């Protein structure tokens, strides 16, 4: 049997010492936070002054060709796999000049037919979305003989 009376008891630090250490660490943390704030505030660039609408207009006009958007009718179709998954897309075409109604309709039908061949696992995640957008852009550009410079996906809903 062990004699518990002969074992020395450990002395704990006093509560006053613990409070002093807590106060000291709090002051150090506040000083570091304040110093970081002052340093970052000095590194921050001055905010640009807003330009007036009249001054900004000539700059935009001198940058090159002005692009316009042309909305396509919404695309609602089921996907290739799983077949019970439906997709609805609202798209806009980015062009230099508006397209004829026949060409716009042909692009819409081509993109609709393409969306019927897409499988859900192909469009999952950010990279899948980027690949889908690149495929749509390529198909629209080919159908319009290069008149479409980009396809903007305004809404994309899976159900």
Question: Which CATH number among 3.30.310.10, 3.40.50.880, 3.30.479.30, 3.40.640.10 corresponds to the domain 68-158?
Answer: 3.30.479.30
The confidence score (pLDDT) of residue 8 equals 66
Q: Where are the domains of the chain?
A: 14-44, 68-158
Q: How large is the angle between the packed helices 125-143 and 101-115, nearest 10 degrees?
A: 140
The confidence score (pLDDT) of residue 47 equals 59
Mean pLDDT per block of 10 residues along the chain (159 residues) reads 63 88 97 93 70 48 76 95 94 93 95 95 93 96 93 94
- Look at the pTM and tell me if it is higher than 0.75: no
Quickly list H helices, 44-124. 53-61, 101-115
The confidence score (pLDDT) of residue 80 equals 93
């Amino acid at each position: 049997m062990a004699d518990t009376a002969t074992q020395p008891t450990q002395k704990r630090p006093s509560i006053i010492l613990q409070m002093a250490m807590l106060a000291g660490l709090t002051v150090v943390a506040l000083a570091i936070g304040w110093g970081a704030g002052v340093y970052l505030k000095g590194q921050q660039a001055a905010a640009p002054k807003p330009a007036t609408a009249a001054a900004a207009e000539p700059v935009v006009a001198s940058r090159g060709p002005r692009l316009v958007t042309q909305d396509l009718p919404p695309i609602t179709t089921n996907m290739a796999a799983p077949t019970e998954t439906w997709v609805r897309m609202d798209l806009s075409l980015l062009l230099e000049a508006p397209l004829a109604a026949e060409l716009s309709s042909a692009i819409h039908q081509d993109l609709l037919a393409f969306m019927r061949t897409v499988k859900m696992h192909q469009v999952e995640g950010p990279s899948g979305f980027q690949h889908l957008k690149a495929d749509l852009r390529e198909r629209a550009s080919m159908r319009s003989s290069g008149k479409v410079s980009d396809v903007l996906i305004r809404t994309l809903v899976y159900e």
